[in-house]
Structure 1
Amino acid sequence: MKYRTLGQGLEVSAIGIGCMPMVAGGNIVYGEANADDAIETIHRAIDLGVTFFDTAEIYGPFQNEELVGRAIRGKRDNLVIATKFGFRFEGDQITGADSSPANIRRACEASLKRLGIDTIDLFYQHRVDPSVPIEDVVGTMADLKAEGKIRHLALSEAGEQTLRRAHATHPITALQSEYSLWERGVEDGILPACEELGIGFVPYSPLGRGFLTGNFRSRDALGENDWRRQDPRWSEENFDANLAIVDTIRTIADRNGASVAQVALAWLIAQGDHIVPIPGVKRIATMSDSVAAADLELSDADLAELSAAVPPGAAQGDRYGERGMRMVRL
């Protein structure tokens, strides 16, 4: 495994693992999942040198952190565990954004308990809360760091100006936002700001929620309760058009003797030394395929061909529905 450094000297494996799909049922379903398989997948990833694992209290909610906690028990050393806060709950129902100091502290304590760890390595604000100044959010996170409860501060889906204000308050280690061959919006402003400020960038959904693996040729492959059925890019009106993106990637994958997913991930890794994608996985086979992308070096010609063939805006449909789009790039 190769390794990279995010901001503030935080070293992680060049590819991390998005743990969100690992819980069966819950509020976000990406196909069938099995807890035993997921835990075995995390163990195998650690054996392969993966050190970076991403979860959040909202996944499940709560169940995903508990699963990750079980998986890393006795294997905690040298791992970088990332989780996220930023929502309020009534029972297990999410009722809205909440980055008030009290809720940040509640979330931190609860995540530490569910994960079974003493310190959260990378603590993200999951979504910007317009009702709480980012300076106050970062101030509370800095207090948690001073208390030894978190090691590094991070944001998710923050806009460029919010990121700059946050970093001016306390150094930010990483920004996590959606980035892939079919979602390149961060290239305008956000990625350059991260590079300028020395902030690592962590692309989530680097494989388009599975679309860019090339394993889906029809929406019929999705279960009735699969979250992707509400994803505009997976909709009936956009699905076939977006398959053209997959076919372009497949041409280059075949040329390199690699999988479609590996080429999509290798393209991302090549966009900057501070970029560490976290493909979501739940089985050993998928994880092993994605992790191998860290060793795939595409030629300059391959990279240029991909960038030109799938330019910003090439994907048909928004990346979220209307409600989700209102919560990003704030």
Structure 2
Amino acid sequence: MKTRMIGGAEVSALGIGAMSFSDFYGETCEADSHAVLDRAREVGVTHIDTSNIYGAGRSETVIGTWLAANSGARDTVHIATKAGISSDAHGNRVIDNAPDYMEAQLDASLRRLGTDHVDLFYAHRHQADLPPEEVAGTLGRLVEKGKCRAIGFSEIAPSTLRRAASEHPVGAVQSEYSLQTRAPELGLIQTCAELGTALVAFSPVGRSLLTDSPIPRARIETNPFLSVNPRFTLPNHDFNLAALAPFRALAAQMGLSTAALAIAWGLHKGDHVVSIPGTRSVGHFDELVAGANTDLTPQDMARIEQILPVGWCHGDRYASNQWVGPQNYC
């Protein structure tokens, strides 16, 4: 397994996006999540990336019960979690990076995970009216207290990263990055490389579009997130499936699953890129591992870019109400 560095720690280039341990994309159970974690341990996948809001703490709890059931596992995995997204009295999303709130949320995460520290703690979204230097200082004090080993931010602009890093080293920035979401190439991937910050790529297989088995229309229509997401609403969804047919054919020609080729492409975009796909099945997880272990030539990369050039995807990556928190920078 290829490795990367996050905040001074060596981790597997492929990680686990543990939103899949909740029911966000479909029903799952603890046993299936534990099976994925067992398989990850077998093949050397060490980075697990979760959040306090995934299933209202369920994802962290599932990881915690797996750690408790597997002696020594905590010493072999690199655990990241996030906080900073809350709700007001009306259920509207609120971004809160206040020091007391962030520490209280991390403390709750540690209890669910059953550990005294995490290896990486992100601000899940940046609170716009707080200077990023101030938020980095808040997170840095949690490092000083021993509650986390490194700090990170999710969905921030390159300029915000530079300001935060002027106050405290930033171990990782998490951002959506895949063949269908190329925005990080407009400065973020470059700034991360310059500052020694890992770019942790979530949704690297496009919320299933970049796989051999995209989520079917019937399930999309019953999923609160996907049913309003512009890339999954009609007619964009049909256009996207058609545009991806040549890419699926290329993957098959190369002896790979579509997901494997998508993962391989992402990891070849920089030796500071960490890919964190989510999955509910060991079989799909093995496809992702195969992608992480695949070496692509410059000719392979050029063929992929020819089939899926920048800007091919139909629809924005978020609906208007889903854009609360992420920073735009283009």
TM range (shorter): over 0.9
The DSSP-based 3-state class of the residue aligned with 1:277 is strand
C-alpha distance in 2 between matches for 1:146 and 1:218: 47
Aligned length: 325
Q: Which runs of 5 or more residues in structure 1 are unaligned?
A: none
Which secondary structure state, in structure 1, belongs to the residue aligned with residue 222 of structure 2? coil
How far 1:214 sits from its partner (Å)?
A: 2.5
Distance (whole Å) between structure 1 residues aligned to residue 214 and residue 140 of structure 2: 43
The one-letter amino acid paired with 1:266 is: A
- In the other structure, the counterpart of 2:298 is 300
2:282 to 248, 264, 284: 284
How far is 1:221 from its partner? 4.5
CA separation of 1:89/1:195 partners in 2, compared to 1, >3 Å: closer, same or farther? same
How many percent identity over aligned positions? Answer: 39
Conservation of the 8 A alpha-carbon contact between 2:21 and 2:58: no
Shift of 1:118: 0.9
* CA distances 1:38-96 after superposition (whole Å, capped 9, x unpaired): 111111111111100011001111111111111122311121000001023579x6741
TM-score by length of 2: 0.94
Residue type of the alignment partner of 1:114: R
Matched, 1:64 2:55: no
The answer on 1:50 being equivalent to 2:45 is yes
Q: Displacement, 1:290?
A: 0.7
Q: 1:221 to 1:108 in 2, by over 3 A?
A: closer
The CA deviation at 1:218 is 4.5
Q: Residue 215 and residue 289 in structure 1: after superposition, are their counterparts in 2 closer, same or farther (change >3 A)?
A: same
Over the residues paired in the alignment, what is the CA RMSD in angstroms?
A: 1.8
Aligned partner of 1:5: which letter?
M
* Alpha-carbon separation, structure 2, partners of 1:223 and 1:243: 16
Once the two structures are superposed, the pairs formed by residues 217-236 of structure 1 within 5 Å of their partners are 218-222=216-220, 224-225=222-223, 227-236=225-234
Deviations 1:95-140 (A, max 9, x none): 4110011111111111111111111101011111112221111111
The aligned amino acid for 2:20 is P
Note if contact 1:97-1:127 (Cα within 8 Å) is conserved in structure 2: yes
Q: Which residue of 1 aligns with 2:133?
A: 135
| Secondary structure of residue in 1 paired with 2:306 | helix
Q: How does 1:177-192 map to 2 (within 5 A)?
A: 177-192=175-190
Q: Name the residue aligned to 2:22.
A: 23
What SS is found at the alignment partner of 1:105?
A: helix
Residues 114-153 of structure 1 mapped to structure 2, 5 A cutoff: 114-153=112-151
Structure 2: give runs of 5+ residues left out of the alignment. Answer: none
Whole-Å separation in 2 of the counterparts to 1:51 and 1:222: 31
| Partner residue in 2 for 1:35 | 30
Q: 1:87–1:95: 8 Å Cα contact kept in structure 2?
A: yes
